[in-house]
Chain A
Amino acid sequence: MTTAILARPTFGQRLLGMWLSAGGFLRLLSQRPVGLLGFIGIVFFLLLAFVAPLFVPFQNDPSLVDIYQTPSAAHPLGTDFQGKDVLNQIVFGGRDILTVAILAALVSTAIAITFGSIAAVVGGKVDSTILAITDVVLTLPKLILLIAVAAILRPTGFLFLAVLLGALQWSSLLRQIRSQVLSLKERDYVEAARSLDLGIVHIVFREILPTMRSYIAIHFIFAMTEAMYAQVFIVILGLVPVSGSNWGIMLYFAQGQGALYFRDSIWYILSPILAISLVQLSLVSFASALEDIFNPRLRGSA
């Protein structure tokens, strides 16, 4: 209740406000078990990818003696075609993928928000050109383009891959953001803010964006799932020079080395599959729970 009164809360009060609303948010989330599971999954994989590698020693020494060992105390998930421990690769395999996914989602969401709002706010010629470009990119078979571009440009670094993926994904989000901003722009309280001469900064950041915060968060998460899908896609197809190790590369080698067809190499190929699937499942279930919470129509009568 306190922050509700203060027009310009200090940093401390803002933190307090966020803490109170976080508590409320968790309560709302707990009413949606699948969403809660998703949230826990995300936290787990973020820790696994960015924190676990600090504590677990990195083993990279192949030992041809124990190739494709089945799960044992020494190797809970068995070993790969070079005798390296699979669990260790899973722990170290998450960081690259999640970084690229987050960066790509940032790129595509940033493009969508900036050009979407510019198209909606400026309108006229600018609006129709942006819309025409978006419609064209929307219908393109993006993955076919990705294959061709990846084959020719051979992206190596994280940033380059993330920008490439981000540059192919922004079109549907841009259209949605444009229509959101358009509808909000026409609202009476925005017109009132204009006639009270409160300034464009106030109108965008205090009147329009707050109502879109949850909308953007949800679609950022969906953008991450799309980036994950596309990234692992081109890695498995071997279109990206293989460096370091991540779940996608594990799958590329597993397929290449015939792990698919040996009976006891199942753990080597199954571990990355499960890891990637669980990340995607957590992201989607959490995002749909957010959609349910923040979409007043679905929330039922107050």
Chain B
Amino acid sequence: MTTAIAAKSQVRTAMNPRRYLGDSWRHPITRAVVKAFLTIWVTTTLTFLLIRLMPGSPVELKIDELIQTSNGSLSYEEAKAIASSLFAINLNAPIHEQYLSFIWNLLHLDIGSSFLSSGTSVTSIILSVLPWTLFSVGTGLLLSFVVGIGLGLLAAYRRDSLLDRVVSTGGSLVSSIPNYLIALMMILFLGVQTHIINFTSMRGAYTPGMQPGFTLAFIGDLFYHASLPITIYFLTQIGHWILSMRSATLSALEEDYVTAARARGLSDGRIRTAYVGRNAVLPLVTQLAISVGFIVGGAAIIEQIFAYQGVGLRLLAAVTQRDYPVIQGIVMLTTIAVVVANLAADLLYSKLDPRIGRAGGAAG
């Protein structure tokens, strides 16, 4: 009887295949990549369904419009064929076939062409505007992240001082006012009433006629035009970073490894960066990823107010012109851009925090 027990225990500890598969699945990087693809797939399907299945679907509207403009010379079938090429899907086929061909085209980056300037592909339209939004949002966000972390750290180190109160209350109040209202107020007070800033000269992403290239003048001009949107994106998130960093630093300061580091005579500078700073900033990296989606989403109104040719402005134009392939394209590509940013933040986080990077560890 005892030998049976011994044999059984051997088997249990032998290598069990599921465990190996289990390990790779749990690894944070694989999970982040899968999550990214899942998001993209959900968005594409969502927009696909939106365009087709909603009552008074834009596809039907387009077909009627085609028939009317051709005052009857086009039959329903012909109009449908044109519409289907515009939408990059074959309308006759049943829904699931349409969906499959839609996805197939998407994989070849062919997402139909614009209604208005038929012939110019949606991708080319988007690629001409998306970089400006990513540039302005990216700069504004990174600036607010870096400045916010600095101020948050400072406010925590000087807890309950005047500086702490001003920075935290001020930050949270600025970030609670909707950013488009701040934009309007900037135009009102700095432009119209006092002419401090000449808004008209800042319209558009860069001064027309400038020779695009990596010259200092051109880059300077880019920043000149994008300065207002960047300021707004900066103000939108700055309060959030200050408050999160302040509370993360306060809890890090109470940790035992900070007292232990002081007991070992480490310099304040070293403790502030490698011990308090690095641990406090960890949770903020994941929040950075989430805030990208929010800011990009809100860019549309900021770009409209400042007449800055980003993807948001182009989306609004497409909406008013009911140019559905462009709407569909913008929604998908912006989501992909945001998802890629999130993936980068997830990977950065698993590298920064070893407890997640190396699943398992020696102690078992």
| Complex: chain B residue closest to A239, CB-CB | B319
Given known A139-B339, A140-B338, contact A277–B178 (CB-CB < 8 A):
yes
Interface of B: prevailing SS: helix
Asked if A74 is at the interface (CB within 8 A of a chain B CB), the reply is no
Given known A136-B39, A237-B301, contact A143–B178 (CB-CB < 8 A):
no
B300 and A237 form a contact (CB under 8 A): yes
Interface code A146-172, partner B: CB below 8 Å = 1, 0 otherwise? 111101110000000000000000001
B178 and A229 form a contact (CB under 8 A): yes
A142 and B293 form a contact (CB under 8 A): yes
Chain B residues contacting A136 (CB-CB under 8 Å) are 35, 38-39, 42
Scoring B42, B178, B193 by chain A CB atoms within 10 A of each residue's CB, the highest score goes to B178
B38 and A144 form a contact (CB under 8 A): no
Asked if B50 is at the interface (CB within 8 A of a chain A CB), the reply is yes
B169 and A273 form a contact (CB under 8 A): no
Interface size of B as a range = 35 or more
Identify which of B147-155, B275-283, B326-334 touches chain A: B326-334
CA distance A153 to B328 in the complex (A): 14
Distance (Å) between the CB of A198 and the closest chain B CB? 34
Distance (Å) between the CB of B118 and the closest chain A CB? 20
Asked if A28 is at the interface (CB within 8 A of a chain B CB), the reply is no
A152 and B58 form a contact (CB under 8 A): yes
B188 and A266 form a contact (CB under 8 A): yes
CA distance A261 to B192 in the complex (A): 6
A276 and B178 form a contact (CB under 8 A): yes
Distance (Å) between the CB of A258 and the closest chain B CB? 11
CA distance A298 to B164 in the complex (A): 15
Distance (Å) between the CB of B288 and the closest chain A CB? 12
B316 and A147 form a contact (CB under 8 A): yes
CA distance A144 to B331 in the complex (A): 6
B338 and A138 form a contact (CB under 8 A): no
Asked if A225 is at the interface (CB within 8 A of a chain B CB), the reply is yes
CA distance A276 to B304 in the complex (A): 20
Distance (Å) between the CB of A296 and the closest chain B CB? 13
CA distance A3 to B124 in the complex (A): 69
Chain B residues contacting A146 (CB-CB under 8 Å) are 297
Interface code B295-323, partner A: CB below 8 Å = 1, 0 otherwise? 01110110010000000100110010010
Interface code A128-141, partner B: CB below 8 Å = 1, 0 otherwise? 00001001101111
| Complex: chain B residue closest to A138, CB-CB | B290
Asked if A145 is at the interface (CB within 8 A of a chain B CB), the reply is yes
Chain A residues contacting B176 (CB-CB under 8 Å) are 225, 280-281, 283-285
Could you say which of A144, A172, A298 contacts B335, with CB atoms under 8 Å apart? A144
B293 and A148 form a contact (CB under 8 A): no
B327 and A151 form a contact (CB under 8 A): yes
A260 and B184 form a contact (CB under 8 A): yes
A280 and B297 form a contact (CB under 8 A): no
Distance (Å) between the CB of A267 and the closest chain B CB? 11
B331 and A148 form a contact (CB under 8 A): yes
Asked if A34 is at the interface (CB within 8 A of a chain B CB), the reply is yes
Asked if A177 is at the interface (CB within 8 A of a chain B CB), the reply is no
| Complex: chain A residue closest to B57, CB-CB | A152
Chain A residues contacting B322 (CB-CB under 8 Å) are 151
CA distance A228 to B330 in the complex (A): 25
Distance (Å) between the CB of B297 and the closest chain A CB? 3
| Complex: chain A residue closest to B58, CB-CB | A152
Asked if B173 is at the interface (CB within 8 A of a chain A CB), the reply is yes
B297 and A141 form a contact (CB under 8 A): yes
CA distance A263 to B189 in the complex (A): 10
Chain A residues contacting B50 (CB-CB under 8 Å) are 148-149, 152
Asked if A288 is at the interface (CB within 8 A of a chain B CB), the reply is yes
A232 and B178 form a contact (CB under 8 A): yes
B178 and A172 form a contact (CB under 8 A): no
Chain A residues contacting B180 (CB-CB under 8 Å) are 232-233, 236
Could you say which of A233, A251, A255, A280 contacts B177, with CB atoms under 8 Å apart? A280
CA distance A172 to B287 in the complex (A): 10
Asked if B217 is at the interface (CB within 8 A of a chain A CB), the reply is no
Distance (Å) between the CB of B359 and the closest chain A CB? 17
Scoring A138, A147, A236 by chain B CB atoms within 10 A of each residue's CB, the highest score goes to A147
CA distance A148 to B324 in the complex (A): 9
Chain A residues contacting B300 (CB-CB under 8 Å) are 143-144, 147, 237
A140 and B184 form a contact (CB under 8 A): no
| Complex: chain A residue closest to B304, CB-CB | A237
Chain B residues contacting A239 (CB-CB under 8 Å) are 319
Could you say which of A147, A277, A298 contacts B319, with CB atoms under 8 Å apart? A147
A–B complex contacts, Cβ < 8 Å, 24 sampled: A132-B35, A132-B38, A139-B35, A139-B290, A140-B42, A140-B293, A141-B293, A141-B297, A141-B334, A142-B297, A143-B294, A144-B296, A144-B297, A145-B46, A147-B319, A151-B322, A152-B54, A232-B178, A233-B180, A233-B298, A237-B300, A237-B316, A270-B185, A288-B172
A-B pairs with lowest CB-CB distance, top 6: A143-B297, A284-B176, A141-B297, A151-B319, A141-B293, A277-B177
Q: A136-B42, A139-B290, A277-B181 are in contact. List 8 more A-B contacts (CB 8 A).
A: A140-B293, A140-B335, A141-B293, A148-B50, A233-B180, A236-B180, A261-B192, A266-B188
